[in-house]
Amino acid sequence: MSGAAACPAWFVSGTDTEIGKTLASCALLHRLRRHHARVVGAKPVAAGLDADGVNGDVRCLRAASTLRVDAALDNPYALPLPASPHLAAAAAGTRIELERIATAVDALRASADALIVEGVGGFLVPLTDTLDGGDLAQRLALPVILVVGLRLGCLNHARLSAEAIAARGLPLAGWIGSAVDPAMALRDANVDTLRARLPAPCLGVIPHLPQPDPAHAALHLELPR
């Protein structure tokens, strides 16, 4: 696809799993809705499905989107087992292919005004025996937004993730703090350290929310420039 035809898009990754990556992705979609009529979120690989055969994160992204698309485009790989993608895919008798995902993302960028692509797990989570999330991000060639789960150990996890993103030659468009541990000691000081040491701007810090609310979380974020 030519760059002129492609809408703005970002790849959202995280320092780990279960750190608020989907909430941040949905909040970014709510921010984008202020500027664009057709915004869509995608999670190309999702592991773990509900009774209706839909992944919970995918369901949240669809609720935050204004553009309705075929499931083959916003969730090409819906894997039943809630496990690492390479294991979940093997259990489902399938293999994750980067080109299938890239084709779906290209189609979304052709029909949307703005796109958020949420990765699965952390940046280097295995997708196959030889490929990982970094390979997917590299194939899509999108600027990365890193969601940092604010808890003990986040400084190391965030810096390692930023180095891994840079090693793949990808721009880090910004990072988002996610207060997953409401009892974290010296949280503000940790955020200040991240501001000083990560090579990208902070796009905001999402406070701990008893009930995840993307519209409320969006009030704490800004879009990358």
> Residue 18: pLDDT above 70?
yes
Residue 15, helix vs strand vs coil: coil
Fold of 3-218: Rossmann fold (3.40.50)
| Active-site entry in 43, 86, 151, 187 | 43
pTM of the model: 0.96
Beta bridge partners of 115: 9, 40
List, for residues 119-160, the tens digit of each pLDDT value.
999 999 999 999 999 999 999 999 999 999 999 999 999 999
CB 19 within 8 A of CB 147: yes
Beta bridge partners of 40: 115
Those residues with Cβ within 8 angstroms of residue 25's Cβ, 6 or more apart along the chain or in another chain: 12, 41, 61, 64, 116, 118
- How far is residue 12's CA from residue 22's CA, in Å, rounded to a whole number? 9
Active site residue 21: no
- How far is residue 121's CA from residue 44's CA, in Å, rounded to a whole number? 12
List, for residues 191-220, the tens digit of each pLDDT value.
999 999 999 999 999 999 989 999 999 999
List, for residues 47-66, the tens digit of each pLDDT value.
999 999 999 999 999 999 99
- How far is residue 203's CA from residue 182's CA, in Å, rounded to a whole number? 20
CB 127 within 8 A of CB 135: yes
Tokens of 96: 């994750």
Residue 45, helix vs strand vs coil: strand
Residue 3: what pLDDT?
39
Which H helix or E strand runs over 166?
Answer: helix 154-167
